[in-house]
């Protein structure tokens, strides 16, 4: 076959395919998932993508969707790249998505002002703009279950309790190794404020995005400064590299704490020496939940998932499941509120505001004990829920503490100042016009 | 047959030195511009917002780098940072003086970038080639460091990010979330056409010839009376001006908000590849390069699943992404083998062939 013929056939085939594409049926709900299985953050992103996809696919397979309406799940590959993320957003915008999950702070920021114009709610689960916890200012953005300020206050509180009271931290030195970006810098003001009040010292070790895999200089300084505790705010390859460097430089791992993003693979990269490394978490690890067993049965065993069988139940996989749990719950709540079957983005925004995941509801969903309860409201788009501490025992994460409540007063001050600041800087930031539901 | 030189006589020097001596070329260009404007009313929002606006922005940045690398022969890896300077300058200016129209600030922000570019261009007098590339790399890292570390640049925003406030032109929002893709596209298109026209006049005139003389042999150029320092710095300044305006357009008319990381080293490479693939020392090549590097992956992302699904092959988003990489990479190698001088050269050959068609002699 000549090249010309071949190309003609290809064109014909693609034209045919174009016409054969199914039109989006009225009785379906379109849920786009922004994922990254490629690029430098794929090591974290793949698990999350699998978890998000598999839970929703399980609902499709087991229950035929939500409330009898099938979910159309479509992944858009962002590669954690803002450029591609914005392209993905434009690509899905026209298909009436009920919610977008950017999974990158860089992609979330450009989308925040558009959400209210395009009427598409944004769920940035425990990342993105912390100030968007204020529902009265950001009616279209949700970031449950906790902000980074909450997370930082929980870690300090935990360390304080270990020392025998927050005031015992006086005179101690706390190192803060963070990604040198908005995400990593966010908790610094809170940390410094607490340092001033309680009287401990803070040493900052910023890691630039391009040096994530090479942190020898930061850990060398840490060795010189000898901080009593190290706290980490990292993502992607930064976490694994930090654990490896900490082990290599002989830092006592039981004094090394992190926000909720490190995965099993990150901890494993430190080898046996990584034992004792602690991170925050707000949901269970493992597959011993009826809903996750259903994922195994209806999705993974049928070959509908990209996840390996042994990866189901890992911490970031379950994080993806938690994200999809929120999506599904928001849709279900929206259906209940509006009485409609095929809900829209506007309905799901209301659904999200009225979300009520209490222990009874979690049990009903087959996730009893999977996570703490989460109740959102018109004003509170975050929940500021407590998280617990988990420790790496060399092979898996082990829960080692009860839920730690965030220091709400301190966080609230930061939050209000930030939200006010954002609205002021963006002169003409629209006032909330969306009505609140009675229940919330 | 339709495209030929015969019968078009040049009777004066002005018509002889015209950039488009052929009537057909002029008509063609007019048609392209007309089509580009018509697209604003025919295209859907995905085409305008996710394809055409970025394509134009990257074309503008490519023109900027092409002036430096293609015309003056100075290799730069700081494009991303210079774009960033434009974006941050534009943000500072329009938030400090909201009463002045933002279009003015977009053009003015380029001058800040030009100044920074000229500053980092100073070493170009002493060092050449790869060594200069390393010097501009320093600009890239230093400026990026500034973007992270100087909160003043983002007005002490907690998010540390730039965001596009609402700005209007003749009462129509052109910036911010309420601006429609159509309006944004028209603004970007007009700015790009204007600046391309300016660049075309620059590179075809005295200044452009000075740049080319420096590129081809700087010693000979110096002997002819061209002052290398001024000429090279001018190239840096003009190049950075274009990159700066492109950066401002990128953040405020395309993304609508961005973190410092948008202007990283990858952005610089991205633009450099466009220039190399498109054709060094060619304005139209800048557009071709931007099209190949930016639009091709998007088209593949749409065509591939559609082309594979009739054969019962369902591919995931990640496989598509890998295929995009493979195909775009292969195409780059293919084009560079077929025509090492870039797509612009292919275009030129095509036009020459067309001139004598259907009776090649």
Summarize pLDDT for A106-137 with one digit per residue, the tens: 888 888 888 888 889 999 988 888 888 888 88
Summarize pLDDT for A194-217 with one digit per residue, the tens: 899 889 999 999 998 878 888 888
Tell me the C-alpha distance between A9 and A3, whole Å: 10
Per-residue pLDDT at A439: 53
In what side-by-side order are the strands of the sheet with A256-258? A201-207, A173-179, A229-233, A256-258, A278-281, A388-392, A397-399
Tell me the C-alpha distance between A82 and A125, whole Å: 17
Interface of A with B in 326-355 (CB under 8 A): none
HSE value, Cβ hemisphere, 13 Å, CA-based, for B192? 31
Residues of A in contact with B269 (CB under 8 A): none
Q: Which of A82, A117, A129 sits opposite B178 (nearest CB)?
A: A117
Per-residue pLDDT at A164: 87
Record: contact A181-B256, CB cut-off 8 A: no
**Strand positions, DSSP E, A282-348:** none
Residues of A in contact with B45 (CB under 8 A): 90, 93-94
Residues of A in contact with B257 (CB under 8 A): 109-110, 112-113
Record: contact B307-A110, CB cut-off 8 A: no
Per-residue pLDDT at A24: 45
Record: contact A14-B306, CB cut-off 8 A: yes
Band (B86; pLDDT cuts 50, 70, 90):
very high
The minimum CA-CA distance between B256 and chain A, rounded to whole Å, is: 5
Per-residue pLDDT at B220: 93
Record: contact A422-B258, CB cut-off 8 A: no
Tell me the C-alpha distance between B290 and B275, whole Å: 8
Band (B213; pLDDT cuts 50, 70, 90):
very high
Q: Is the pLDDT of residue B300 over 90?
A: no
pTM, to two decimals:
0.83
Residues of A in contact with B293 (CB under 8 A): none
Instruction: Name the residue in chain B with its Cα closest to that of A183.
Output: B159
What percent of chain A is modeled with pLDDT above 90? 24
Same domain, A193 and A271: yes
ipTM summary value = 0.76
Band (A390; pLDDT cuts 50, 70, 90):
very high
* Residue showing tokens 């391009």: A210
Record: contact B265-A210, CB cut-off 8 A: yes
Two tokens, residue B36 = 């580009």
When mean pLDDT is compared across B95-104, B238-247, B320-329, the lowest value belongs to B320-329
Where in the sequence is the domain holding A140, given as residue range(s)? 25-146+286-375+418-425
Residues of A in contact with B143 (CB under 8 A): none
Summarize pLDDT for A43-89 with one digit per residue, the tens: 888 999 999 999 999 999 988 888 888 999 988 888 888 888 888 88
The minimum CA-CA distance between B258 and chain A, rounded to whole Å, is: 6
Band (A395; pLDDT cuts 50, 70, 90):
confident
Same domain, A66 and A113: yes
Tell me the C-alpha distance between A191 and A188, whole Å: 5
Q: Which of A17, A109, A210 sits opposite B259 (nearest CB)?
A: A109
Instruction: Name the residue in chain B with its Cα closest to that of A209.
Output: B261
Q: Is the pLDDT of residue B236 over 70?
A: yes
Residues of B in contact with A79 (CB under 8 A): 321
Same domain, A154 and A268: yes
Same domain, A152 and A121: no
Record: contact B256-A110, CB cut-off 8 A: yes
Record: contact B163-A10, CB cut-off 8 A: no
Record: contact B260-A75, CB cut-off 8 A: no
Same domain, A130 and A188: no
Record: contact A90-B310, CB cut-off 8 A: no
Residue A187 resides in a domain: yes
On whether the CB atoms of residues B55 and B271 are closer than 8 A, the answer is no
Q: Which of A10, A21, A181 sits opposite B259 (nearest CB)?
A: A181
**Interface membership of A75 toward B (CB under 8 Å):** yes
**Number of structural domains chain A divides into:** 2
HSE value, Cβ hemisphere, 13 Å, CA-based, for B85? 29
Selected for mutation to probe chain A from B144, B318, B327, B329 (highest A CB count within 10 Å) is: B318
* Residue showing tokens 């309680």: A198
Residues of A in contact with B255 (CB under 8 A): 82, 86, 110
Residue A81 resides in a domain: yes
Residue A438 resides in a domain: no
Q: Between chain A and chain B, how many beta carbons pairs sit less than 8 Å apart? A: 132
Q: What is the mean pLDDT of the segment spanning B251-264?
A: 84
Selected for mutation to probe chain A from B261, B309, B323 (highest A CB count within 10 Å) is: B261
Per-residue pLDDT at B186: 93
What percent of chain A is modeled with pLDDT above 70? 93
Residue A72 resides in a domain: yes
Summarize pLDDT for A289-321 with one digit per residue, the tens: 999 999 988 998 888 888 888 888 888 899 999
Contacts of B211 (CB under 8 A, 6+ apart): B67, B71, B72, B203, B231, B234, B235
Residue A125 resides in a domain: yes
Same domain, A39 and A181: no
Same domain, A328 and A257: no
Q: Is the pLDDT of residue B1 over 70?
A: no
**Peptide bond preceding A145: is omega within 30 degrees of 0, i.e. cis?**
yes
Same domain, A400 and A367: no
**Interface membership of A276 toward B (CB under 8 Å):** no
**Sign for the pseudo-dihedral over CA of A78, A79, A83, A84:** negative
Neighbours of A252 (CB within 10 A): 11
DSSP code for A390:
E
Phi-psi category of B73—alpha, beta or left, where left has phi over 0 and alpha has psi -120 to 50? left
Record: contact B95-A17, CB cut-off 8 A: no
Q: Which of B155, B160, B265 sits opposite A185 (nearest CB)?
A: B160
* Greatest Cα-to-Cα distance within chain A, rounded to the nearest angstrom: 81
Record: contact A37-B317, CB cut-off 8 A: yes
Record: contact B165-A428, CB cut-off 8 A: yes
Interface of A with B in 210-229 (CB under 8 A): 210
Give exposure, A405-435, as e/b (b: 16+ Cβ within 10 Å). ebbeebbeebbeebbebbbebbeeeeebebe
**Sign for the pseudo-dihedral over CA of A24, A27, A31, A37:** negative
Same domain, A243 and A300: no
The minimum CA-CA distance between B223 and chain A, rounded to whole Å, is: 44
Closest C-alpha among B108, B103, B84 to residue B162: B84
Record: contact A91-B45, CB cut-off 8 A: no
CA B255 vs. chain centroid, Å, equals 16
Tell me the C-alpha distance between B152 and B159, whole Å: 13
Same domain, A263 and A365: no
Q: Is the pLDDT of residue B287 over 60?
A: yes
Residue A256 resides in a domain: yes
Q: What is the mean pLDDT of the segment spanning B244-260?
A: 88
Q: What is the CATH number of the domain that holds A104?
A: 3.40.50.2300
Same domain, A326 and A198: no
Tell me the C-alpha distance between A23 and A2, whole Å: 35
The minimum CA-CA distance between A208 and chain B, rounded to whole Å, is: 9
Instruction: Indicate the burial class of A402 (C-beta count within 10 angstroms; 0-12, 13-18, 19 or more).
Output: exposed
Record: contact B259-A182, CB cut-off 8 A: yes
Per-residue pLDDT at A14: 45
Tell me the C-alpha distance between A119 and A97, whole Å: 9
Q: Which of A10, A117, A180 sits opposite B307 (nearest CB)?
A: A10
Q: What is the mean pLDDT of the segment spanning B281-304?
A: 88
The minimum CA-CA distance between A386 and chain B, rounded to whole Å, is: 23
The minimum CA-CA distance between A3 and chain B, rounded to whole Å, is: 15
Q: Which of A35, A106, A208 sits opposite B317 (nearest CB)?
A: A35
Record: contact A131-B158, CB cut-off 8 A: yes
Record: contact A181-B176, CB cut-off 8 A: no
Band (B116; pLDDT cuts 50, 70, 90):
very high
Per-residue pLDDT at B130: 84
Same domain, A266 and A307: no
Tell me the C-alpha distance between B241 and B237, whole Å: 6
Instruction: Name the residue in chain A with its Cα closest to that of B92.
Output: A425
């Amino acid at each position: 076959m000549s090249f010309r013929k071949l190309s003609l056939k290809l064109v014909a085939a693609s034209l045919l395919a174009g016409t054969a594409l199914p039109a989006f049926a009225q009785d379906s709900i379109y849920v786009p998932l922004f994922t990254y299985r490629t690029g430098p953050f794929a090591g974290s992103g793949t698990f999350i993508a699998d978890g998000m996809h598999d839970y929703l696919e399980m609902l499709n397979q087991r229950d035929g969707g939500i409330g009898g309406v099938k979910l159309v799940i479509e992944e858009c590959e962002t590669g954690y790249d803002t450029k591609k993320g914005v392209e993905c957003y434009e690509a899905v915008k026209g298909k009436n998505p009920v919610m977008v999950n950017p999974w990158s702070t860089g992609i979330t920021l450009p989308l925040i002002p558009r959400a209210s114009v395009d009427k598409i709610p944004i769920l940035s689960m425990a990342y993105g703009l912390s100030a968007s916890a204020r529902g009265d200012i950001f009616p279209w953005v949700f970031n449950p279950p906790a902000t980074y300020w909450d997370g930082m206050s929980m870690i300090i509180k935990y360390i304080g309790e270990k020392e025998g009271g927050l005031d015992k931290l006086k005179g101690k030195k706390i190192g803060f190794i963070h990604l040198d970006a908005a995400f990593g810098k966010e908790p610094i003001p809170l940390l410094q404020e607490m340092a001033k009040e309680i009287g401990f010292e803070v040493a900052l070790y910023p890691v630039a995005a391009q040096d994530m895999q090479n942190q020898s200089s930061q850990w060398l300084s840490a060795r010189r400064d000898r901080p009593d505790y190290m706290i980490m705010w990292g993502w992607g390859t930064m976490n694994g590299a930090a654990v490896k460097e900490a082990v290599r430089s002989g830092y006592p791992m039981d004094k090394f704490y992190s926000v909720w993003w490190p995965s099993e693979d990150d901890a494993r990269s430190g080898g046996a020496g990584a034992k004792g490394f602690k991170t925050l978490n707000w949901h269970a690890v493992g597959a011993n939940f009826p809903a996750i067993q259903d994922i195994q049965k209806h999705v993974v065993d049928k070959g509908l998932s990209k996840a390996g069988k042994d990866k189901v139940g890992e911490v970031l996989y379950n994080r993806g499941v938690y994200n999809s749990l929120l999506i599904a719950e928001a849709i279900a709540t929206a259906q209940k509120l509006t009485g409609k079957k095929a809900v829209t983005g506007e309905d799901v925004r209301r659904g999200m505001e009225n979300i009520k995941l209490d222990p009874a509801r979690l049990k009903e969903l087959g996730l009893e004990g999977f996570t703490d309860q989460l109740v959102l409201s018109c004003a509170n788009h975050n929940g500021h829920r407590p998280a617990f501490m988990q420790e790496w025992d060399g092979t898996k994460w082990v829960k080692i503490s009860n839920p730690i409540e965030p220091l709400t007063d301190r966080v609230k001050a930061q939050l209000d100042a930030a939200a006010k600041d954002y609205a002021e800087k963006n002169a003409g930031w629209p006032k909330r016009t969306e009505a609140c539901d009675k229940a919330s | 047959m339709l495209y030929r030189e015969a019968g078009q006589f040049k009777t004066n020097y002005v018509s002889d030195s015209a950039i488009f001596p052929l009537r057909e070329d002029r008509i063609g260009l007019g048609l392209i511009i007309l089509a580009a404007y018509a697209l604003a009313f025919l295209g859907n929002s995905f085409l305008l917002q996710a394809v055409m606006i970025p394509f134009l922005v990257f074309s503008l940045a490519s023109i900027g780098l092409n002036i430096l690398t293609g015309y003056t022969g100075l290799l730069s890896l700081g494009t991303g940072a210079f774009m960033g300077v434009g974006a941050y300058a534009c943000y500072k200016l329009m938030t400090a003086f909201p009463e002045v129209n933002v279009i003015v600030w977009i053009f003015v922000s380029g001058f800040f970038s030009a100044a920074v570019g000229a500053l980092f261009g100073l070493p170009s007098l002493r060092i050449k080639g790869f060594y200069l590339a390393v010097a501009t790399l320093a600009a890239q890292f230093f400026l990026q460091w500034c973007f992270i570390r100087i909160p003043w640049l983002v007005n002490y925003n907690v998010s540390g990010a730039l965001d596009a406030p609402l700005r209007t032109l003749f009462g129509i929002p052109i910036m911010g979330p309420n601006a429609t893709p159509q309006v944004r596209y028209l603004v970007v298109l007009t700015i790009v056409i204007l600046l391309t026209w300016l660049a075309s006049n620059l590179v075809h005139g005295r200044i452009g010839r000075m740049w080319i003389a420096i590129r081809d042999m700087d010693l000979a150029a110096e002997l002819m009376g061209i002052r290398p320092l001024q000429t090279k710095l001018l190239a840096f300044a003009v190049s950075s001006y274009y990159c700066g305006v492109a950066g401002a357009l990128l953040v405020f008319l395309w993304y609508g908000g961005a973190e410092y990381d948008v202007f990283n080293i990858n952005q610089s490479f991205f633009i450099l590849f466009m220039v190399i693939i498109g054709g060094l020392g060619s304005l139209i090549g800048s557009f071709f390069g931007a099209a190949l590097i930016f639009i091709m992956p998007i088209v593949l992302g749409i065509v591939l699943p559609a082309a594979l699904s009739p054969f019962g092959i369902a591919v995931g988003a990640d496989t598509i992404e890998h295929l995009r990489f493979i195909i775009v990479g292969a195409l780059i190698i293919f084009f560079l083998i077929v025509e090492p001088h870039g797509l612009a050269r292919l275009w030129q050959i095509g036009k020459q062939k067309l001139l004598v068609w259907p009776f090649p002699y």
